[in-house]
């Protein structure tokens, strides 16, 4: 990694790219280098990305969702990378706004991970912002995809306004990816108290009762993230 600064003054990041479309792959490399980052390698499949990262330190891996070793090989590769390199940022890209992709990505983690549409990061500024946020530990979700799961806010009151201060704090920690036991330790609450707050959050946000507990938790986090983004 070089010592020169990016155009924004931030330290250049070491980035690996995995994309099976040659033209888009080369375009990503050019955009990333234009923002001052160092592309340590660009490959056309998940297995090659894993091999690359075994040899080269990487700050953020940019992956196409639909690529080898299978139609959705980017998801498979991302799961393996998160397990092996938990501190490495993951940015998954797709041409398609698919809610089920987001659900699978959130199972991988809710920190240092992103899901963006390819046509929304086609400018240097957009790509720079997304990569930096992922590297900083944020979760970056394409708004149109989040909207598919939690609906449109138009004409609706503040979705978090009905939550108590304690419930809002619990939801914030959920958005950080903490489990109920982790929230209990952080807030010095009993596990039962946390469960009660979580159930109240689900009810106040009008989340579907026929969804699994995991999916309701993901929907609650998405609602929180969208509300914070709109403020």
My answer on whether 96 and 172 are in the same domain is no
**Is there a domain that residue 1 lies in?**
no
pLDDT of residue 216: 81
Are the C-beta atoms of residues 59 and 135 closer than 8 Å to each other? yes
My answer on whether 108 and 194 are in the same domain is no
Residue 69 preceded by cis peptide, ω within 30: yes
- Given a cut of 90, is residue 184 above it in pLDDT? yes
Q: Which of 149, 181, 200 is the last residue of a domain?
A: 149
My answer on whether 74 and 89 are in the same domain is yes
pLDDT grade for 20, boundaries at 50, 70 and 90: very high
**Is there a domain that residue 197 lies in?**
yes
My answer on whether 174 and 116 are in the same domain is no
pLDDT grade for 202, boundaries at 50, 70 and 90: very high
pLDDT of residue 212: 65
My answer on whether 36 and 135 are in the same domain is yes
My answer on whether 108 and 183 are in the same domain is no
Please give the Cα distance from 85 to 97 (Å, whole number).
27
**Is there a domain that residue 3 lies in?**
no
My answer on whether 157 and 145 are in the same domain is no
- Given a cut of 80, is residue 117 above it in pLDDT? yes
- Beta-carbon-side half-sphere exposure of residue 99 (alpha carbons within 13 Å): 11
Domain span including residue 217 = 153-230
My answer on whether 136 and 208 are in the same domain is no
pLDDT of residue 149: 58
Q: Beta strand 60-64 with 38-43: parallel, antiparallel or unpaired?
A: unpaired
My answer on whether 35 and 139 are in the same domain is yes
Length of the chain: 231
Percent of the chain with pLDDT over 70: 85
CATH of the domain at 157: 1.10.10.10
H or E element at residue 54: helix 46-55
Task: Specify the higher pLDDT residue, 176 or 68.
Answer: 68
**Is there a domain that residue 8 lies in?**
no
pLDDT grade for 152, boundaries at 50, 70 and 90: very low
My answer on whether 77 and 138 are in the same domain is yes
My answer on whether 175 and 78 are in the same domain is no
The total of structural domains in the chain comes to 2
My answer on whether 173 and 102 are in the same domain is no
């Amino acid at each position: 990694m070089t010592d020169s600064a990016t155009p924004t003054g931030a330290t250049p990041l070491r980035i690996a790219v995995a994309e099976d479309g040659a033209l888009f792959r080369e375009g990503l490399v050019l955009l990333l280098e234009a923002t001052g980052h160092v592309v340590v390698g660009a490959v056309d499949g998940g297995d090659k990305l894993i091999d690359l990262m075994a040899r080269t330190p990487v700050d953020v891996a940019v992956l196409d969702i639909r690529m080898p070793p299978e139609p959705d090989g980017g998801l498979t590769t991302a799961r393996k990378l998160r397990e092996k390199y938990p501190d490495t940022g993951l940015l998954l890209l797709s041409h398609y706004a698919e809610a089920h992709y987001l659900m699978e990505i959130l199972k991988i983690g809710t920190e240092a991970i992103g899901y963006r549409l390819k046509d929304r990061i086609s400018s240097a500024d957009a790509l720079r912002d997304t990569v930096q946020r992922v590297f900083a530990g944020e979760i970056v979700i394409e708004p149109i995809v989040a909207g598919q799961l939690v609906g449109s806010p138009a004409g609706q009151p503040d979705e978090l306004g009905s939550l108590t201060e304690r419930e809002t704090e619990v939801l914030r920690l959920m958005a950080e990816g903490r489990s109920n036991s982790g929230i209990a330790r952080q807030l010095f609450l009993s596990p039962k108290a946390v469960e009660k707050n979580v159930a109240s959050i689900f009810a106040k946000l009008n989340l579907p009762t026929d969804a699994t507990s995991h999916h309701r938790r993901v929907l609650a986090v998405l609602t929180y993230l969208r509300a914070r983004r709109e403020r």
